[in-house]
């Protein structure tokens, strides 16, 4: 069975600083990977997805993620954090059409 | 509609009551999914429909949970004899077709509180 692990349930950065949210996957086959963001009292919004094309995937709101097979990782980054980035972020792998999510990382942005 | 719509947004139930949660997927989306998100956790898969056919219900936690999509559009998740452990946000998602490459679009969810 496939799974994802998100390291760090809470990450805090200063406005303008680099954002790095970690995700490692476990899969016996090439995975399809996703990052979703959830703002308070809202549903999940897709940030980006990896479907075995380019290993560096660019998403919305300036986020990007790099698929590294050797490290079984799919970390999410953004060069400069904005206050509006404060939210919960979920990494997910898809198996049999259904999403399998990590536990989530809450991102706080300090002014 | 423009997005996935869920109703009600909030539901408070007394333990033992039955509840029904509604999901209106994006028009034309064939696949519909239900997920359960406990407080502080990631969403967990409950069940999946392709049109009106329920293809996977492996995530339903007990036989008190039942989902239907009779006409291949709107879906209802029903929970009978609610228990406190059923308190969670129930998320619905739809995608154009099934398969691993298709994006799932989520609704805002229904927050169920069982007292």
Q: Which range has the worst mean pLDDT, A25-39, A74-88, B6-20, B38-52?
A: A25-39
Residues of chain B numbered 1-40 and touching chain A (CB < 8 Å): 4, 31, 33, 35, 40
- A94 to chain B, closest Cα gap in Å: 6
Digit-coded pLDDT (tens) for B83-111: 999 999 999 999 998 777 789 999 999 99
Average pLDDT of chain A to the nearest whole number: 93
Find, in chain A, the residue whose alpha carbon is nearest to that of B102.
Answer: A97
Say if residue B61's pLDDT is above 80.
yes
Question: A10-14 and A105-110: which strand pairing?
Answer: parallel
How confident is the model at residue B105, as a pLDDT? 94
Residue B2: per-residue pLDDT: 80
What is the helix, strand, coil percentage profile of chain B, to 5?
5, 50, 50
Phi, psi dihedral angles at A84 (to 5 degrees) = -70, -5
pLDDT score, position B1 = 52
The fraction of chain A above a pLDDT of 70, given in percent, is 100
Residue B22: pLDDT above 90? yes
Report chain B's mean pLDDT, rounded to a whole number: 94
Mean pLDDT score, A1-18: 94
Whether A78 and A18 have beta carbons less than 8 Å apart is answered as yes
Percent of chain B scored above 70 by pLDDT?
A: 99
Q: What is the pLDDT of residue B67?
A: 98
Mean pLDDT of B19-48: 96
Strand, coil or helix: B60:
coil
Within a 13 Å sphere around the CA of A29, how many CA atoms are in the beta-carbon half? Answer: 9
Output the pLDDT for position A89.
98
Burial class (CB in 10 A: 0-12, 13-18, 19+), A111: exposed
- Whether the per-residue pLDDT at B79 is higher than 90: the answer is yes
Q: Which residues in B lie closer than 8 A to residue A43 (C-beta atoms)?
A: 4, 91, 106-109
Task: Please give the interface size between A and B, counted as residue pairs whose CB atoms are below 8 Å apart.
Answer: 57
Token reading at A24: 């490692």
Calculate the dihedral angle through the C-alpha atoms of A27, B34, A86, A21, rounding to the nearest 10 degrees.
Answer: 0
Contact yes or no for B45 and A42 at CB 8 A: no
8 Å CB contact of B43 and A90: yes
Q: Which of A32, A44, A99 sits opposite B101 (nearest CB)?
A: A32
Which two tokens mark A79?
Answer: 């060069």
């Amino acid at each position: 069975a496939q799974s994802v692990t998100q390291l760090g349930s809470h990450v805090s950065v200063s406005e303008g600083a680099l954002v790095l949210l970690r995700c490692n996957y476990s899969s016996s086959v090439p995975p399809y990977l996703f990052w979703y963001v959830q703002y308070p009292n809202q549903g999940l919004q897709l940030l980006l997805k990896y479907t075995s094309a380019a290993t560096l995937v660019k998403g919305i709101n300036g986020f990007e993620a790099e698929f590294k097979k050797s490290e079984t990782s799919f970390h999410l980054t953004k060069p400069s954090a904005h206050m509006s980035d404060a939210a919960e972020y979920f990494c997910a792998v898809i198996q049999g059409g259904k999403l399998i999510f990590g536990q989530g990382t809450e991102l706080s942005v300090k002014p | 509609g423009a997005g996935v719509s869920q109703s009600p947004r909030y539901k408070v139930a007394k333990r033992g009551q039955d509840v029904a949660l509604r999901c209106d997927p994006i028009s034309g989306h064939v696949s519909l999914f239900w997920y359960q998100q406990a407080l502080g956790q990631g969403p967990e898969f409950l069940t999946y429909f392709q049109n009106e056919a329920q293809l996977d219900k492996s995530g339903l936690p007990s036989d008190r949970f039942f989902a239907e999509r009779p006409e291949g559009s709107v879906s209802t998740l029903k929970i009978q004899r609610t228990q406190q452990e059923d308190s969670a946000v129930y998320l619905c998602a739809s995608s154009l077709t099934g398969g691993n490459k298709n994006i799932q679009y989520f609704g805002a969810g229904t927050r169920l509180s069982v007292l």
